[in-house]
Amino acid sequence: MIMIFFKQKLPPTHNGYILTQYGLSGKVFSYKINILEQLYFIVLRTERLMAYTIGLDYGTNSVRCLVVNVLDGSEVGTAVYEYESGQAGILLDPADHNVARQNPDDYLKGLEVTIKEALAQTKQADSSFDSANVVGIGVDTTGSTPIPVDTEGTPLAMKPEFKDNLNAYVWLWKDHTSYAEAAEITELAQKEYPEYLDKCGGIYSSEWFFSKILNCLRTAPEVFDAAYTWVEHADWVTSVLTGTEHPEAMKRCRCAAGHKAFFNTVWGGYPAKDFLVKLDPKLGALRDTLPDNTYTVEDAAGGLSETWASKLGLKAGIPVAMGAFDCHLGAIGSGVGSGTMVKVMGTSTCDLMVSDASIPLQDIPGVCGIVDGSVLPGFFGIEAGQSAVGDIFNWFVNYIQPGGHKDGLHQILTEKAAKLQPGQSGLLALDWNNGNRTILVDQRLTGLLLGQTLHTKPEEIYRALVEATAFGALTIINRIEGYGVKVNEVVNCGGIAEKNPVVMQIYADILGREMKVSRSAQTCALGSAIAAAVVAGSTAGGYDDFASAQAAMTGVKEVVYKPNHENNAVYMNLYKLYKQLHDGFGVPGTKVKMTNVMKDLLEIKESSRG
C-alpha cells in the first residue's frame, strides 16, 4: 500500500471531494481525494494498479470482449466477433417468422477469438501489460436463450445427428414460436399456482424458458427426447470456461431462473413437478434435472479450467463469475442503485431497477419479474422492457428502404426527423412490431401506424416510430411508479443512447425527465468485468462488494438531455391518444372509443404548424 500526503490550497467552491490526476511510474491515474483541513491524501492498493478483469458480452448478433483496469474501470482492450451462422448470427425459417435460433459453435469461437484479440490489443497499447494480471472473468448473455444438452452438457446442435435439425440449436430470446404454450402455462398457473405469475408480472411469455421447451416437446419430440436437460446460454458459457458442463456440476444463475423460469426460494426453487406434469408428463420429468439452488453474480461459477487457460493465455483457476443477462449486468455497469432506472437500449430495450430486499415490495403486473438478487445482491431486481426498439428503426430502414437502399440512411432520416416539431407529422404509432414485452406481455400484438396522408414523408414515419418507443417507455415507468417504486433518475446505455442524440432528446421530452448516458459505451461488458472484480475479491486486486466496485469503475457522461417542457406538453396530448390505442388494441375486454383519434391527430398537427 502506498500513501501520498501533500498540501494544496483549497479552491473556495470545492467541498468534500475533488477529482485530480497524479502520475505514478509513468502512468496517469484518476482518484477521488478526501479533503480534510486542506490535507489531501491518496491510499493506493498496489495490487489494483496492475489488476485487470475480462467482461464478455454475448449479444443478439455478436460477442464483445472487454479488458478493464480494476482500479478505475478504464477499458484498455476490446474485440468483437460477429456470429458467422445464419443472418447476422440468427438462424431463421422462411416458413415461420417466429423462429430465431443460434449456433453454439459461434459462442465458442467468439469466446476464444475476442479474448485473444482483446488481450493482444491491450498488450500493444501497453507493453508492460501481462495477462497474468487478469484476476477474473465475467459473462453476460441474452435471455431467455435455452440450449438442449445431453448428459455431458454438450449442446445437441454440436452432435452430427442433429446438425441439420434447427430445433436442436439454441432457442434465442426473440424466438416467439411458443406463444400458444406461453398462454397455456399462464392459464394453468392462474388456476393452480397464481403465486408463480405474481412474481413475473402476471403473464408467462413466449420469450421464456418453459414455453420454449414445451414447444420443442410438441413440435420436435426427437430433440426433446434426446436432451437430458436444457440450460441457459448464460450458464452454459460459464460452465464451459470452468469445466463444469456436466449438468450435475453446473451452477444455474438466479437472474435467468428467477425472471424466466419461475424460480423462487419461497416455493422451493423451480416450479413444482406436478405443475409441469399437468402441462406434459415429460416436462415434469425435466424438473428432476433442475437443481434446487441458484447463484447470484457475487458468486463464482468456478475457476478457469486448465484447458481454457491454455487456449486463452490466462492463469488457470482465476474465478469466473456467475453469468447473468446482458441487461442486468448492463445495469450494474451503468451504476444502478435505489431509485435509478437503467435503460439498456439496443435491438430491444430492457429496463432495470433495484429495490432494497429488506423492504417489502408489491408485485407489479406486466413486468418481467421481481427477483431477489437478480441484479445486485441484497436487492430485488425489477425487469421490464420492450421487445423491439432499434429493431423497429432497422425494419423501416432495411426492409421498407424509403428512398431506396443507401448507406447512412439512418443518419439521413435522423437529421430530417430532428427538424420536425412534436405532433407536426400527424402520425402516431404503436411499438409492437415484435410484440409487447411490458406491460401487456403479448407477443401476438403487432405494430401500427396511424394518421398517414398522401403527403406523409419517410422522416415523419421515422420520427413517429421513435416517439412510439418513447411512449412505450413512459408506459413502463408509469406502471412501476404506480406500484410504489419511485424512478428518481434515468441512466441510458447501449448503442442508441451512445450514438443518437436526437432519439435521446425525444425520450427526454416525452418522459419529462433528464436522460443521462452511461460513461461506458460497453456497459454490459463492463458490468461483467465488475462482477469479475467482485468475485476476485480485494486480496486479488478486486473488490469485496458491488458498491465499492461500482463507485470506482462506473460513471455517466457530462452530456445530459434535458426535457423541453413545451414539447412535453404536446407529447402528453399525443400520449393520451397513444394510451387509447394501447388499451383498445392491447387490453382484452377494454371498450375504448377510437373515433376521435385521427381527427385529434390532425388538430395537433395543424396546431404544431402554426
CATH number at residue 62: 3.30.420.40
Confidence at 43, pLDDT banded by 50, 70, 90: very low
* CB contact at 8 A, 424 and 605: yes
- Range of the structural domain that residue 31 is part of: 2-44
Q: Is the pLDDT of residue 589 over 50?
A: yes
- Kindly state whether residues 92 and 153 are assigned to the same domain: yes
H or E segment and range at residue 530: helix 523-536
Mean pLDDT of 258-277: 95
Confidence band (pLDDT; 50, 70, 90) for 610? Answer: low
What is the rounded average pLDDT of the residues 7-29?
35
Which of these three, 271, 295, 321, is where a domain ends?
321
Same domain, 215 and 281: yes
pLDDT at 586: 94
Shared domain check, 249 and 101: yes
Last residue in a domain, options 321, 341, 360: 321
Pick from 19-33, 192-206, 439-453, 468-482: least confident: 19-33
Percent of the chain topping pLDDT 90: 83
In a domain, 596, yes or no: no
Asked if pLDDT for residue 591 goes beyond 90, the answer is no
The pLDDT of residue 3: 43
The pLDDT of residue 369 is 87
In this structure, is residue 275 part of a structural domain?
Answer: yes
CA distance 321 to 301: 6
Q: Is residue 580 part of a domain?
A: no
Are 22 and 114 members of one domain? no
Answer for the pair 142, 233: CB distance below 8 angstroms, yes or no. Answer: yes
- Report how far apart, in Å, the C-alpha atoms of 568 and of each of 489, 576, 579 are: 18, 12, 16
Tell me which of 21 and 171 has the higher pLDDT.
Answer: 171
pLDDT attached to residue 455: 95
Q: Give yes or no: residues 13 and 154 share one domain.
A: no
Based on the domain organization, do 20 and 161 belong to the same domain? no
Question: Hey, which bits of 38-164 come out as E strands?
Answer: 39-44, 52-58, 62-69, 75-82, 91-93, 96-102, 134-141, 146-149
DSSP helix/strand/coil, 232: strand
382 backbone dihedrals φ, ψ, rounded to 5°: -110, 120
Q: What integer pLDDT is reported at residue 592 of this predicted model?
A: 85
Query: Is the predicted pLDDT of residue 209 greater than 70, yes or no?
Result: yes
Question: Domain tally for the chain?
Answer: 2
582-590: Cβ within 8 A, 24+ apart: 582/430, 582/440, 582/471, 582/475, 585/430, 585/445, 585/448, 586/432, 586/436, 586/440, 586/442, 586/445, 587/440
Low-confidence winner among 81-90, 198-207, 593-602 (lowest mean pLDDT)? 198-207
Is residue 231 in some structural domain? yes
Q: What is the mean pLDDT of residues 469-485?
A: 97
pLDDT tens for each residue of 396-440: 999 999 977 778 898 999 999 999 999 999 999 999 999 998 999
pLDDT at 40: 36
Residues 204 and 306 in one domain: yes
Mean pLDDT of 110-131: 95
**What mean pLDDT value characterizes the chain?**
91
Which residues make Cβ contacts (< 8 Å) with residue 76, sequence separation at least 6? Answer: 52, 67, 68, 69, 122, 125, 126, 129
* Same domain for 37 and 184: no
Average pLDDT over residues 121-129: 92
Average pLDDT over residues 255-263: 95
83 and 210 housed in the same domain: yes
Q: What does the block give as the cell for 164?
A: 441439420
Q: Which of 321, 344, 372 is the last residue of a domain?
A: 321
- One-letter amino acid at 364 equals I
pLDDT at 25: 34
Residue 563 and residue 511 in contact, taking contact as beta carbons nearer than 8 Å:
yes
Q: Is 156 in the same domain as 25?
A: no
288 lies in a domain? yes
Task: Give me the pLDDT at residue 608, please.
Answer: 85
Q: For residue 117, which amino acid is it?
A: E
My answer on whether 23 and 151 are in the same domain is no
Where residue 69 falls among pLDDT bands split at 50, 70, 90? very high
Q: At what angle do helices 565-586 and 458-482 cross, to 10 degrees?
A: 80
pLDDT digits over 296-320, tens only?
999 999 999 999 999 999 999 999 9
Determine the residue type at 515. M
Average pLDDT over residues 282-293: 96
Structural domain includes residue 374? no
Determine, yes or no, domain membership for 209. yes
146-172 residues labelled b (16+ CB within 10 A) or e (exposed): bbbbbeebbbbbbeeebeeebbbbbbb
**Do both 63 and 104 map to the same domain?**
yes
Average pLDDT of the residues in 9-33: 35
pTM assigned to the model: 0.86
Which one, of 503, 520, 508, lies nearest residue 568 by Cα?
508
Show the cell assigned to 304.
478457469
Is residue 28 a part of any domain in this protein?
A: yes
